[in-house]
Structure 1
């Protein structure tokens, strides 16, 4: 902590901004000693697994004692804090709209995946872990039978649990979907693969704190199908930029896929609407301006007036 405090003393920053939770104690104590405010951009929801919510009470005390202002990556994440002594603000994450631009990225040819122009390609960009919902989506496609016969799945992401990957491979074979579900593994460049998809799916079964892959897809003009719990309910406009389903069940997801297929003629328009919304609310330049505004307001003693753009 002394080294961090010396660095703060030498550089004399207006504020200290932290992302990683394990750096909050060191950074905030050093900053507080130097009379500087710390802003923590909270990357995930705060867990309920601790007895008596001790972790939340600890955060609440720490924010007040060491002058930490929590910036939650969604209203959902904000709601997982106590917000007792220090109330958190919603501060959405941002991405570069130029980097994720559909006209500046060359899509991967579908034929390289064994797909053709008649296939309806749904893409999932997530680590292979149970909570990301790949199994839920696979089972929903299988139960849809011939109704979903044109739907193909691209599962992009590396195995975190090797056992889960093996389970998915066995499940795909048992359901007779070996020619319809493609496991690509880790993908270095997401944008070219995303552009090869018709629809991007976030089927996470628990709450998604924010969902960066959702914003990336929207920037690339792809409509998004997502579980509404958590951040996607704040980023995806149901029926306009994509579709939301309320329960992580096969039955609910099947009905959502039916909605997606019924709207096939509107996919392009929905993708365009998604990019407009993403640029307006989640472009990195917009987020940077908002962050500077937060710091400036705190320094001047003015009451917070950051645009919440939910």
Structure 2
């Protein structure tokens, strides 16, 4: 089955990592064609795996346009996306693609044009929370309306993401988690693991205000001048978020947070997690899924996460970690302190987290769900 995967960006971010994990684990049933609007890490990594990747450049002003920008330039951007979609359609026809699977909101729009012109079914894979405050109300409403009208089917990365779309029951939908772990992958040995001071509290994610890194920095203040707890922030500003990165650096300087280290982009996240004691996830708006949470549990880390959105479907409160109210540094600090002071709880949560990943978040399960969805979807289109 020839399936085209569309993405407007090739930057190594959550949605692109999930797409890579999916495509590189398909069996012979799926023949993937990946069409990306720019060169980048995703393209390089897929090509290294022998995946057929085509780069059809899209202008930076459209590709990097803010999701909430509602102004006169929106018309010209829409026209360019329409024209770009027609270019993609030509490639889809030439490659005899059976269906189109979009991986981002921008690609969902030009993918709709491409699929229509090529006369083939369209699947939207929604990986964002379609609601405020992540999106302006008018933008969220527009996307919800288009999700009813444009795609033939919708895949969501969590029940929370699907619920935010408010789709009718008649819409062919699928909730499938963005798993990464292979069922045969070696898991960390907790028998050998020791927690030694200084403890390392790790946060992984691109630097963006809604990801809440500033909340962790505020919580880190309460651990000064104690030098037995270190805070590592892995990730960088990717989508026009340089101002937020500067804000974080200023916050560290103003509060003399010598217990905090900004690591920037880290290639080997699993290796980094082996050096940590806790994983925290501090999104202040509902996280669509939170793939890094699953990675942390697979690495044997207890997880502290916000009790909204996707994390409520991955973390079992009191069993694999703690779910806390987002945006409250004091609550986060108390949760961190509790787990660091209770090693028996950390070990129990570590063991439960590894088991939960093996039961619910292995890549084979994700591949099987999507492959079956394709088969039924195309048969009924």
TM-score between both structures, scaled by the size of structure 1: 0.80
Q: Partners in 1 of 2:183 and 2:159 — Cα distance?
A: 26
Give the C-alpha shift of residue 167 in structure 1. Answer: 3.1
Question: 2:343 maps to what in 1?
Answer: 264
Match of 2:125 among 41, 53, 60: 41
Match of 1:95 among 163, 180, 183: 180
- Contact kept? 2:223, 2:229, Cα under 8 Å: no
- Contact kept? 2:123, 2:153, Cα under 8 Å: yes
- Contact kept? 2:183, 2:362, Cα under 8 Å: no
Give the C-alpha shift of residue 151 in structure 1. Answer: 2.0
- Contact kept? 2:199, 2:277, Cα under 8 Å: yes
Q: How many residues end up aligned between the 2 structures? A: 285
Question: 2:249 maps to what in 1?
Answer: 169
Equivalent residue of 2:261, what SS? strand
Question: 1:306 maps to what in 2?
Answer: none
Q: Partners in 2 of 1:15 and 1:277 — Cα distance?
A: 33
Q: Partners in 2 of 1:140 and 1:25 — Cα distance?
A: 40
Give the C-alpha shift of residue 255 in structure 1. Answer: 3.0
Question: 1:82 maps to what in 2?
Answer: 166
- Contact kept? 1:100, 1:216, Cα under 8 Å: no
Give the C-alpha shift of residue 289 in structure 1. Answer: 0.5
Q: 1:229 to 1:50 in 2, by over 3 A?
A: same
Q: Partners in 1 of 2:95 and 2:347 — Cα distance?
A: 49
Give the C-alpha shift of residue 130 in structure 1. Answer: 2.1
State yes or no: 1:281 paired with 2:360.
yes
Question: 2:150 maps to what in 1?
Answer: 62
Residue pairs, 1:65-144, within 5 angstroms: 68-84=152-168, 86=171, 88-97=173-182, 101-103=186-188, 117-143=196-222
Equivalent residue of 1:88, what SS? strand
Q: Partners in 1 of 2:184 and 2:102 — Cα distance?
A: 24
Give the C-alpha shift of residue 103 in structure 1. Answer: 4.8
Give the C-alpha shift of residue 300 in structure 1. Answer: 4.9
Aligned-residue CA RMSD (Å): 2.9
- Contact kept? 1:217, 1:224, Cα under 8 Å: yes
- Contact kept? 2:320, 2:353, Cα under 8 Å: yes
Q: 1:121 to 1:282 in 2, by over 3 A?
A: same
Question: 1:151 maps to what in 2?
Answer: 229
Higher deviation after alignment, 37-46 or 259-268: 259-268
Question: 1:112 maps to what in 2?
Answer: none
Equivalent residue of 1:238, what SS? coil
Structure 1, unmatched stretches of 5+, are: 105-115, 302-310
Q: Partners in 2 of 1:100 and 1:21 — Cα distance?
A: 32
Q: Partners in 2 of 1:232 and 1:132 — Cα distance?
A: 13
Give the C-alpha shift of residue 91 in structure 1. Answer: 1.6
Q: Partners in 2 of 1:6 and 1:162 — Cα distance?
A: 37
Equivalent residue of 1:80, what SS? helix
TM-score between both structures, scaled by the size of structure 2: 0.66
Q: Partners in 1 of 2:353 and 2:292 — Cα distance?
A: 13
Give the C-alpha shift of residue 35 in structure 1. Answer: 5.7
Q: 1:297 to 1:87 in 2, by over 3 A?
A: closer
